[in-house]
Amino acid sequence: MFRETLSKRGVRVVTGLGKYFRQADKNRNGLLPKTAFKEALKVFHLEMPEEDFESLWLILDDNKSNKVDYGEFTHAVFGEMNEYRKAFVRKVSFAYMKLDFNKTGSVPMVDIRKCYCAK
């Protein structure tokens, strides 16, 4: 049921949820507690009966940490990526690593200009 609702709403909801998760993740550990996860679903109009939410939570919090990882959430909803998408992600990751000279996790425009010429 939840999967169908998300797939009908499309990529914008999923990317919006990702952005919301990152903003709600105050300590930057990639995890959200149950209350914050429930609030995120509410913000994106993905509410469900409490019984369904508890079932979803049991699936997502399989290690019983009382927190959910956004990557695990998307994997649970959408399943494994197909080989084409995996290859594309590997290529993008490789390109990003080449651009991130200082290994900081962000790439300033100055560094991009060093590697890329649009002429």
Show me where the domains of the chain are located: 1-78, 84-115
Please tell me the predicted confidence (pLDDT) of residue 87.
Answer: 92
Whether the per-residue pLDDT at 3 is higher than 80: the answer is no
Highest mean pLDDT, choosing among 1-10, 16-25, 110-119: 16-25
Percent of the chain residues past pLDDT 90, beyond the cut: 5
List Cβ<8 Å contacts ≥24 apart for 14-22.
14/74, 14/77, 14/78, 16/44, 17/44, 17/70, 17/73, 18/70, 18/74, 20/44, 21/70, 21/73, 22/70
Determine the topology of domain 1-78 in CATH: Recoverin; domain 1 (1.10.238)
Rounded to an integer, the average pLDDT of 60-89 is: 82
pLDDT at 7 over 60: no
